[in-house]
Amino acid sequence: MNNRGQKIVWTAVLILAMSAIAACGTNNKAADSKDVQTGNTAAASAAPAETGGAAASEGATRTVTGEFGEVEIPANPQRVAGIYVEDYLKALGVTPVVQWYHPSWGKQDYLNLDVPEYDITGSIEALLEKSPDLIIADGGADEARYEQYSKVAPTYRLPEAVLQDSRLTLTAIAEALGIPDKAKSVLADYDKKVADGKAALQQALGQEKVAVIRLNVADKTFALFGVKNRYTGMIYDQFGLTPVLMAAEMTDYQAIISEEVIPELEAEHIIIFPDNGAWDSAMNQEAIKMLDGPLWKNLSAVKNGNIYRMERSHWQSGAITANQMKLDDLLKVMVK
């Protein structure tokens, strides 16, 4: 073959090679584009909710598994409604678009959130007006309510398996928001605080028995909270306090008891709070008079100054911020 023929052949080979390289590059770009558009899980999970990172582009989604199955949620949610879980959102640095409210129960006042209230007994339209792009709900949302929320926005109903432990709940919510590292940071601070508080409480109380009682003001009854109670169980399994025998043996969250049963608890320390309102609320004063009667005055816990009247809002929440506030309360009144 002469030189001219060889040049023609090599030119053809070079053109074919360059065409193949160009095709590969186009295919790679198409694949990258597909990952972003369809919400590639690895890419979406890496972008924190508050950063709006490029990996979680507008319209990208991820799939999470909640109590009622899989749900496709935004990879980078911007307007989150947390029904009953605003405490966790605030701990993670996320401000919800609404705060749940119940006409009879009120709301979690201790959070001091400056956002519109959402009456959970009212119309779902009120939530729709706030345009959430993600709804996160806890065990208060049954399947019927979950279906209603899902018509407003993608809804992640937390699995029952995580609801008993505030740490697991916080972690699950952070993962749904795409900010798992934030949860790790919050939990590291929480665990340090709990460890220090537990040591101080155990040194102060030893094995002295503790009862947590709620005063039900409307019907003037008492509820003893057991060790499995999601509001207060952590004072035993995390803070190291010793429950009275009846609370330790309870399988239910709580038990209604008469006033006459309270001395039988043999509690050396009694934590008590009203089920609604505050200690100075006018509607509570008639029920509160029960605590000034002879039965209460003869309790050893009362005689020793070991009855503690707590604020009901955070004591009727088992969330991460509320738990730290409970620990602060206990350290203040129990550690001299």
H or E element in which residue 182 lies:
helix 180-205
Burial class (CB in 10 A: 0-12, 13-18, 19+), 250: middle
Angle in degrees, CA 250, 252, 254, rounded to 5:
90
Radius of gyration of the chain (CA): 28
The residue ranking higher by pLDDT, 8 or 103, is 103
pLDDT computed for residue 106 by the predictor: 87
pTM of the model: 0.81
What are the C-alpha distances in Å from 13 to residues 19, 20, 25, 157, 172? 10, 11, 19, 59, 56
Phi first, then psi, for residue 242 (nearest 5°) are: -100, 120
In 3-state terms, what secondary structure has residue 312?
helix
The DSSP bridge partners found for residue 112 are none
Percent helix, strand, coil in the chain, to 5, is 45, 20, 35
pLDDT computed for residue 264 by the predictor: 96
59: left (phi over 0), alpha (psi -120 to 50) or beta: left
Q: pLDDT tens across 181-218, in order?
A: 999 999 999 999 999 999 999 999 999 999 999 999 99
Q: pLDDT tens across 15-49, in order?
A: 334 344 344 343 333 333 323 222 223 333 333 33
Q: pLDDT tens across 246-289, in order?
A: 999 999 999 999 999 999 999 999 999 999 999 999 999 999 99
322's tokens: 């509320």
Angle in degrees, CA 109, 114, 117, rounded to 5:
70
In 3-state terms, what secondary structure has residue 164?
coil
Phi first, then psi, for residue 212 (nearest 5°) are: -110, 120
Other beta carbons less than 10 A from residue 20's beta carbon: 10
pLDDT computed for residue 7 by the predictor: 38
